Structure 1
Amino acid sequence: MVLLLLSLSCNQNDDTPQNDESTLHGSWSLTHILGGLAGVNDDFETGIIVWDFNDNDHTINITNNNTSNVIHSGYPSGVYNYEVITTANDTTLIIENTELKITSLTTHQLIIDEGYISDGFQYTFSK
């Protein structure tokens, strides 16, 4: 009886491969900006500023609907070309000749950093 219960409680899809690969492709909402000379530390509601990465043509469609009075809210709305360069030490996101370091990329969070200690910005996104 115990064997029967154990076999029935097992999920038949346990061996199905999960798609947990982290990728830039898709829409990311900017949720936080930190840094800059003025010490920016601003949160944004999901969906206010969206970066939509298209892996096929290597473009980002940025929609920046921020109307709050903040010092910096990232790139203005528009379509930008991008490239990703991965080395043994780090991964760099290049947007229109501007280099940004990808410091974290998971299936649900992206953190990129301009890499300037005193006046650069760090952008946190959620998917």
Structure 2
Amino acid sequence: MLILLGCTKENTHGNDNLVNGSWNLTNISGGFAGIDDDFLKGKIVWKFDSKGETLVVVNNDESNSIYNGLPTGTYTYSVLQEKDKFYLLVNDKEMGGILVDETKLVLDQNSTTSGSGADGFVLVLER
């Protein structure tokens, strides 16, 4: 009983509505190489369906960018909450911390439930 009461993590799924809808990947920065690539709206689209807990990615980027996010495909997703922070899981793998408002979603691969890193990418998606 004490072990359950002593837990500090609030691993609650059910925040999937936080990202629901279509998002355009507009920028990726960071990584070991220190990239900063912009993408036109509509080139890379992530569509989150909170009812089906699916993420459909259409990635039509043909540039020579080092990293352009997820390839075209259908994935499962969930949003994990720990205290006041949210994390995106895709196919049950943690992608990073997320900050969301009405028009922008920022996915920071340097922010994870196990701590922070320095060589991950930061993805900016806009409605």
TM over 0.5: yes
Alignment RMSD, CA only?
1.3
For structure 2, which runs of at least 5 residues remain unmatched after alignment? 1-16, 111-115
Residue 23 of structure 1 contacts residue 107 of structure 1 at CA under 8 Å; is this kept in 2? no
Question: 1:12-91 residue pairs with structure 2 within 5 A?
Answer: 23-91=18-86
**1:101 maps to 2:97:** yes
Distance 2:92 2:83 in 1: 21
2:123 matched to which residue of 1? Answer: 123
Other structure's SS at 2:70 match: coil
1:111, 1:124 within 8 Å by CA — same for their partners in 2?
yes
Alpha-carbon contact 1:27-1:50 (below 8 Å) kept: yes
Counterpart-to-counterpart distance in 1, 2:118 and 2:104:
24
Aligned amino acid, residue 100 of structure 2:
L
Task: For residue 69 of structure 1, report the CA deviation from its aligned partner.
Answer: 1.0
Structure 1 residue 87: Cα displacement: 2.3
TM-score normalised according to structure 2 size = 0.78
Which structure carries more strand by proportion?
2
Q: CA deviation at 1:75?
A: 0.6
Query: Which residue identity does 2:76 align to in structure 1?
Result: N
Number of equivalences: 105
Deviations 1:8-41 (A, max 9, x none): xxxxxxxxxxxxxx83111000000011111111
| Structure 1 residues without counterparts, runs of 5 or longer | 1-21
